[in-house]
Chain A
């Protein structure tokens, strides 16, 4: 059946080029598209700059928030749990409890502060030393300071660890000072979401910018497209230079964005370090660790390509030779 149909359609066309030839044509076409852009440096530069700014804005903001996160992350490790032991426990028992807790997988470190040590510290720091002397016995409980293991250092995990420890019979009270870590985390998540939305809108803007630029280019080259269709150019052949143009626009825009982000961070580095210095921190802005720059470099050409694809799909089909 299939054979019969084939016959009625006549001999098959030879469609494909050999792969090497095909690759060569693509390379030629991509270069000639770049050449076409280079012929109009001002227009190309402006379009690329608009794309660059649209990409740089969310990327730069994201980098800032990401840096903030690493900062809270490093403080996060310092968040510890204080376990107040029952008053009735002897020093030896307290030390046993410490040992049990220290052996847990989700605990990195457990430090026992005995009742005497607690009293000594209180006397030293509070200034109520003389008042304490009036008391007959030591009112302070022994305390175990627990540092969660790295795997349990996220605020939620630390909270869960604290709950578990609270169920120990020997432990009277558990205090975790997590609130501020949680708030900071929530703020940075909110910011991140906002930036994501901004990035989404600006990505759509880039699509439209590239799409519109390519649309104008298609209109401009309509006679050429008609002639190419007349002499047997496939849709793919006609599409290709425009798609490459979109790709180049995206890449150029991405490079400009990269430049803007790096310049911006470099300009902020000084003030940020001065600020960190005031908090006795050696913190400095880091731009290469989050993968944002790689994302820009890979994502922006794809964005350009997608924009061109949108324009090409809509407008090329309309052009038919007469």
Chain B
């Protein structure tokens, strides 16, 4: 589902985000990406969501070579990749419902379909009662769950999460991670970047450890 082929990313400032990374994530697989800050976790996720482009090497997602993707196709690519951020990236002047509905509105779905799917997504993250609230009125954990609902509402085959538990206490962090494990059980491919090694080691899933823009250790490398 996701394949990196000696991918390097150098930013215009000269900073090296990734320095030759290769790995493959099969459809339906879940992997954590760890490493110190600056090790390249965010860069790796951004390349998959096409928030950045690789300077060298090739990135494949869902059978498509992103290097060869027409710029006009980027929005359609992003619809297949749900993204979750540490700072949630919610629109604060819109209700929870409207925030979660955004990907469906963008895709041009009908009103009833949007209603149905948003409620289903909010149900999955246990926020059904909060549809009419504004994000400001929610706790940090609830805001993060709104962000997760928004990422999964359009049922993308791939979910990316960049430090989804960065601002949450251990209890909430565990809940969020377990939510991700549930999604994985229904076939979603997940790549989760986190520095919280203690939290994820308990799940016994694949861990890709980055060090200075390279893969330091990969517990689940196929080859």
Interface set of A (CB-CB < 8 Å, partner B): 8-11, 13-15, 17, 21-22, 24-25, 223-224, 226-235, 237, 320-322
Contact = CB atoms under 8 A, between A and B. Distances in A.
A13 B49 CA distance: 16
Interface size class of B (residues with CB under 8 A): 20 to 34
Interface string B104-148: 001110100000000000000000000000000000000000000
Contact of A223 (B76, B91, B103, B150): B91
B78 interface: yes
A234 B83 CA distance: 17
Contacts of A9: 64-65, 68-69
A25 B108 contact: yes
B75 A234 contact: yes
Interface of B: 46, 49, 51, 60, 62-65, 68-69, 72-73, 75-79, 83, 89-91, 102-103, 106-108, 110, 150, 154
B80 to A, nearest CB: 8
Contacts of B79: 231-232
B106 A228 contact: yes
B41 to A, nearest CB: 15
Nearest to A233: B106
B63 to A, nearest CB: 4
B78 A230 contact: yes
A71 to B, nearest CB: 56
A231 B110 contact: no
Contact of A10 (B62, B83, B90, B102): B62
A17 B113 CA distance: 15
Contact of B102 (A17, A22, A228, A321): A228
B107 A8 contact: no
Contacts of B60: 10
Given A9-B64, A10-B65, A224-B91, A231 B102 contact: yes
Contact of A231 (B51, B69, B150): B150
Given A17-B108, A232-B76, 7 more contacts: A21-B108, A21-B110, A226-B89, A227-B102, A228-B106, A229-B75, A230-B83
B65 A8 contact: yes
Nearest to B85: A230
A232 B89 contact: no
A36 to B, nearest CB: 12
B117 to A, nearest CB: 13
8 contacts: A9-B69, A11-B64, A17-B108, A229-B78, A231-B103, A231-B154, A232-B79, A237-B75
A110 B154 CA distance: 85
Given A9-B64, A10-B62, A11-B64, A232 B69 contact: no
A220 to B, nearest CB: 11
Contacts of B49: 230
B40 to A, nearest CB: 16
Interface centre among A14, A17, A21, A230 (most CB of B within 10 A): A230
A11 B150 contact: no
Nearest to B108: A17
A233 B108 CA distance: 10
Contacts of A25: 108
A15 B89 contact: no
B106 A232 contact: yes
Contacts of B63: 10-11
A227 B89 contact: yes
A21 to B, nearest CB: 6
